């Protein structure tokens, strides 16, 4: 696989690296207090990265999907919580930008998308506004059934009610991209999905609950409670009914959680090397590299890191509209590997660096806690990824267990292929 970075990608990754050095210095304090990393987001805004996924024609930096994933992986090396929260803003821009361009729209829908871009991209480019995209809901399998948050059409817009949990950027975002189901005179369905921007000062919005989690503490993902909030029709981010169509056409959008954890894995490995070489500031000038057990552990970490990175890069390079089954399988394998190996690499780092790695003065205990959260995140948890890979391997399209078993004539199939 040829994976050469473009000049633009190198430049944007360099910006992320420069910002990340400050993020790393602040990460421990934000994590301990479980407060939003305001300074980091001010830096992201000042560096123009709020505009990262906005097309150049609208004043943005024009990062495509692959470029965003690479930039996010670089940011993840320095502060996982900042990167994960930043992903929620970037996804909101991506859905209305790059993703919306990937599926067919009627002429009136194209006109609506153009208006949406002018409004929402304009807020980000000209005013530095911050968007979030909360999807998860209490007791709702939002990939299996229509969302429980609902919208009722009224004159000029919609009355929206619902609850969104794990809402990153809660209290920090200027707008929340609320994905909900429009109520009609029929049972709710995916084609009734709306994607509407809710302003932070809307009287129908409340942010409730404590935020004291195991990891990713600085995302401040408290719960949004929305009750009879009026949202003007003009605040649509996508035309009615197109959100889940976009998901089906370009499912790789939900892989955007993975680069954060790719970055965490790389950070844990890099720290371990420095620590065993005696090069970490604030620790005794002692080399610990001479022990065979530590050398073997570092080798194992390196192999896992390279395996994860290779699958990650392969998956994002293959990402395309309406991907075939083998590309989907690669995506699921990449998500699973990155999420699970990130935590495994952090575990090995703590085991190898020893007792001091438990101290909060060093980053490993935070990296370990943050990395544990990845495989739990919907829509593609570790178990869902494994289940999807197994089903795609064992079932042909539309095949069920009630279908009769037939034997494939391998020789005939080869002759037909030739």
CATH of the domain at 235: 2.40.110.10
Task: Give the per-residue pLDDT at 192.
Answer: 92
Q: What is the DSSP string of 209-275?
A: S----SS-GGG---EEEEEEEEEEGGGBSS-TT-HHHHHHH-GGGGGTTHHHHHHHHHHHHHHHHHH
Overall average pLDDT of the 336-354 stretch = 97
Q: Are residues 312 and 366 in the same domain?
A: yes
235 falls within a domain = yes
Q: Are residues 280 and 233 in the same domain?
A: no
Distances in Å between the Cα of 137 and the Cα atoms of 103, 123, 167, 180, 379 are: 26, 27, 9, 10, 12
224 falls within a domain = yes
What's the chain's length in residues? Answer: 418
371 falls within a domain = yes
Strand partners, 224: 164, 207
Q: Are residues 254 and 381 in the same domain?
A: yes
184 falls within a domain = yes
Helical H segments across 4-63, by residue range = 7-33, 38-46
Q: Are residues 276 and 343 in the same domain?
A: yes
405 falls within a domain = no
pLDDT at 61 over 70: yes
Q: Are residues 231 and 258 in the same domain?
A: no
Q: Indicate the burial class of 188 (C-beta count within 10 angstroms; 0-12, 13-18, 19 or more).
A: middle
Task: Give the per-residue pLDDT at 166.
Answer: 94
Task: Give the per-residue pLDDT at 367.
Answer: 98
- Which three-class secondary structure state does DSSP give residue 134? coil
- Give residue 28's domain range: 7-130
Q: Are residues 376 and 265 in the same domain?
A: yes
Q: What gap in Å lies between CA 190 and CA 110, rounded to an integer?
A: 20
Please give the angle made by the CA atoms of 393, 339 and 68, to the nearest 5 degrees: 100
Q: How confident is the model at residue 153 (pLDDT cuts 50, 70, 90)?
A: very high
In the DSSP assignment, the letter for residue 184 is: B
Task: Give the per-residue pLDDT at 221.
Answer: 97
CATH of the domain at 268: 1.20.140.10
Ramachandran sector of residue 365 (left: φ over 0; alpha: ψ -120 to 50; beta: rest): alpha
Task: Give the per-residue pLDDT at 198.
Answer: 98
**Listed residues 241, 267, 287: the one ending a domain:** 241
Give the pTM. 0.93
**Listed residues 100, 130, 160: the one ending a domain:** 130
Count CB-CB contacts under 10 A for residue 266. Answer: 19
Task: Give the per-residue pLDDT at 129.
Answer: 98
Closest listed residue to residue 258, CA positions, set 99, 359, 374:
374
Overall average pLDDT of the 108-120 stretch = 95
Overall average pLDDT of the 229-236 stretch = 97
Q: CB–CB of 361/282 below 8 Å?
A: yes
Q: What gap in Å lies between CA 86 and CA 277, rounded to an integer?
A: 33
Q: How confident is the model at residue 55 (pLDDT cuts 50, 70, 90)?
A: very high
Task: Give the per-residue pLDDT at 317.
Answer: 96
Task: Give the per-residue pLDDT at 267.
Answer: 98
Task: Give the per-residue pLDDT at 246.
Answer: 78
Q: What is the pLDDT of residues 377-413, one digit of tens each?
A: 888 899 999 999 999 999 987 888 888 877 766 566 5
Task: Give the per-residue pLDDT at 416.
Answer: 61
Q: What is the pLDDT of residues 182-218, one digit of tens each?
A: 999 998 888 899 999 999 999 999 999 999 999 999 9
The average confidence (pLDDT) of the chain is: 93
Closest listed residue to residue 380, CA positions, set 207, 289, 256:
256
Q: Are residues 233 and 173 in the same domain?
A: yes
276 falls within a domain = yes
The first and second tokens of residue 353, run together, are 């660096």
416 falls within a domain = no
Task: Give the per-residue pLDDT at 188.
Answer: 87
Strand partners, 198: 176
Overall average pLDDT of the 93-113 stretch = 89
pLDDT at 46 over 90: yes
Q: What percent of the chain has pLDDT over 70?
A: 95
Q: Are residues 300 and 223 in the same domain?
A: no
**Listed residues 187, 221, 241: the one ending a domain:** 241
Please give the angle made by the CA atoms of 143, 145 and 149, to the nearest 5 degrees: 95
Q: Are residues 35 and 94 in the same domain?
A: yes
Helical H segments across 34-79, by residue range = 38-46, 65-76
Please give the angle made by the CA atoms of 319, 320 and 322, to the nearest 5 degrees: 125
CA atoms within 13 A on the CB side of 23: 26
Q: Are residues 213 and 340 in the same domain?
A: no
Q: What is the pLDDT of residues 292-314, one digit of tens each?
A: 999 999 999 999 999 999 999 99
Q: What is the DSSP string of 262-316?
A: HHHHHHHHHHHHHHHTT-STTS-S---TT-HHHHHHHHHHHHHHHHHHHHHHHHH
Overall average pLDDT of the 84-107 stretch = 91
The first and second tokens of residue 221, run together, are 């993902």
Task: Give the per-residue pLDDT at 399.
Answer: 85
Return the beta strands (E) in 64-192 as ranges.
131-132, 150-154, 157-164, 175-182
> Which secondary structure element, helix H or strand E, spans residue 122, and what is its range?
helix 107-127
pLDDT at 145 over 80: no
Closest listed residue to residue 266, CA positions, set 216, 311, 306:
306
Q: What is the pLDDT of residues 255-294, one digit of tens each?
A: 999 999 999 999 999 999 999 999 998 888 888 899 999 9
CATH of the domain at 86: 1.10.540.10
Overall average pLDDT of the 350-367 stretch = 93
User: Directed axis angle between helix 325-353 and helix 364-372, to 10°?
Assistant: 150
294 falls within a domain = yes
Task: Give the per-residue pLDDT at 286.
Answer: 86
Domain count, the chain: 3
Q: Are residues 302 and 319 in the same domain?
A: yes
Q: Are residues 344 and 275 in the same domain?
A: yes
């Amino acid at each position: 696989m040829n994976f050469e970075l473009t000049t633009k990608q190198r430049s944007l990754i360099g910006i992320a690296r420069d910002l990340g050095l400050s993020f790393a210095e602040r990460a421990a304090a934000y994590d301990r207090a479980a407060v939003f990393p305001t300074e980091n987001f001010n830096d992201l805004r000042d560096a123009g990265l709020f505009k990262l996924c906005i097309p150049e024609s609208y004043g943005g930096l024009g990062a495509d999907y692959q470029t965003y994933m690479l930039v996010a992986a670089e940011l993840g090396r320095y502060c996982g919580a900042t990167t994960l929260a930043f992903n929620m803003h970037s996804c909101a821009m991506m859905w209305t930008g790059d993703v919306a361009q990937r599926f067919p729209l009627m002429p009136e829908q194209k006109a609506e998308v153009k208006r949406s871009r002018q409004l929402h991209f304009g807020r980000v480019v000209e005013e530095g506004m911050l968007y979030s995209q909360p999807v998860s809901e209490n007791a709702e399998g939002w990939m299996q059934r229509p969302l429980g948050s609902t919208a009722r059409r009224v004159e000029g817009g919609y009355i929206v009610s619902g609850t969104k949990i794990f809402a990153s950027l809660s209290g920090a975002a200027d707008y929340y991209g609320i994905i909900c189901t429009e109520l009609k005179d029929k049972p709710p369905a995916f084609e009734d999905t709306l994607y509407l921007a809710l302003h932070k000062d809307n009287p129908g919005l409340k942010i409730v609950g404590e935020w004291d989690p195991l990891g990713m503490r600085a995302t401040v993902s408290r719960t949004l409670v929305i009750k009879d909030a009026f949202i003007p029709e003009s605040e649509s981010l996508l035309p009615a009914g197109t959100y889940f169509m976009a998901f089906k056409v370009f499912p790789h959008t939900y892989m955007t959680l993975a680069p954060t954890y790719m970055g965490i894995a790389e950070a844990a490995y890099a720290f371990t090397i420095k620590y065993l070489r005696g090069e970490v500031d604030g620790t005794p000038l002692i080399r610990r590299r001479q022990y065979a057990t530590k050398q073997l552990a570092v080798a194992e970490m390196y192999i896992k890191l390279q395996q994860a990175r290779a699958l990650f890069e392969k998956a994002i390079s293959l990402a395309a509209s309406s991907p075939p089954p083998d590309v989907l399988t690669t995506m699921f394998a990449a998500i699973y590997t990155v999420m699970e190996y990130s935590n495994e690499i952090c575990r090995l780092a703590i085991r190898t660096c020893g007792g001091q790695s438990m101290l909060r003065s060093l980053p490993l205990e935070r990296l370990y806690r943050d990395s544990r959260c990845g495989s739990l995140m919907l829509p593609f948890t570790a178990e869902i990824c494994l289940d999807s890979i197994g089903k795609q391997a064992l079932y042909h399209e539309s095949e069920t267990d009630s279908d009769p078993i037939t034997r494939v004539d391998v020789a005939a199939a080869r002759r037909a292929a030739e």
